[in-house]
């Protein structure tokens, strides 16, 4: 990522990942005394007609509104701090939750036991209940 400081506020510290719809970065909020860490998601730009750009902007705004609501409903869902557009790029700024990924956990401890997997899955049930209660459906392909 070329920018090191977005909106003269968010300093990019490094890459977190890339997916089908965007990229994520670890950043710090330079406006906060704590320089709290946050996650910035940048949607990949989609070239197209003005109608397509308008549709993407509407979907982005809808996603931000959903994320804001979900973050307020469950402590297991990262809080939305901000969303903004720079040129034709759309950004979401969310709470950084420090911890290990499942990949990190398996790399350091080896394959997980059935009990450990069950505990992880059970801990996700409140999140899924919250998301489902809002009528949100995830499509996994």
Size of the chain, expressed as the number of residues it contains: 141
Q: Is the pLDDT of residue 118 over 70?
A: yes
Which residue's structure tokens are 């950084």? 96
* One domain, residues 127 and 112: yes
* One domain, residues 137 and 123: yes
Domain extent for 128: 100-141
* One domain, residues 87 and 63: yes
* One domain, residues 93 and 107: no
* One domain, residues 20 and 89: yes
* One domain, residues 87 and 23: yes
* One domain, residues 92 and 123: no
* One domain, residues 47 and 106: no
For residue 39, what pLDDT band results from cuts at 50, 70 and 90?
very high
- Hey, which residues does 26 pair with through a beta bridge? 14, 39
Using one digit for the tens of pLDDT, what is the confidence trace for 72-85? 998 889 999 999 99
Please tell me the predicted confidence (pLDDT) of residue 55. 84
How crowded is the C-beta side of 95, counted as CA atoms within 13 Å?
15
* One domain, residues 45 and 89: yes
* One domain, residues 71 and 115: no
Mean pLDDT within 103-115: 94
DSSP-derived secondary structure letter, 21: S
The alpha helices in the chain, defined as continuous H runs, are 50-73, 102-109, 114-133
């Amino acid at each position: 990522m070329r920018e090191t400081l977005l909106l003269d506020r968010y300093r990019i510290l490094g890459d977190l990942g890339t997916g089908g719809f965007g990229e994520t970065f670890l950043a710090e909020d330079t406006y906060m005394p704590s320089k709290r860490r946050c996650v910035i998601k940048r949607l990949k730009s989609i070239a197209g007609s003005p109608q397509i750009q308008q549709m993407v902007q509407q979907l982005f705004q809808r996603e931000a509104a959903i994320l804001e609501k979900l973050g307020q409903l469950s402590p297991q869902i990262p809080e939305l701090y901000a969303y903004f557009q720079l040129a034709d790029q759309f950004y979401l700024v969310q709470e950084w939750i420090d911890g290990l990924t499942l990949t990190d956990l398996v790399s350091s401890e080896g394959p997980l036991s059935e009990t450990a997997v069950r505990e992880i899955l059970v801990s996700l049930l409140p999140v899924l209940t919250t998301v489902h209660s809002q009528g949100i459906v995830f499509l996994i392909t």
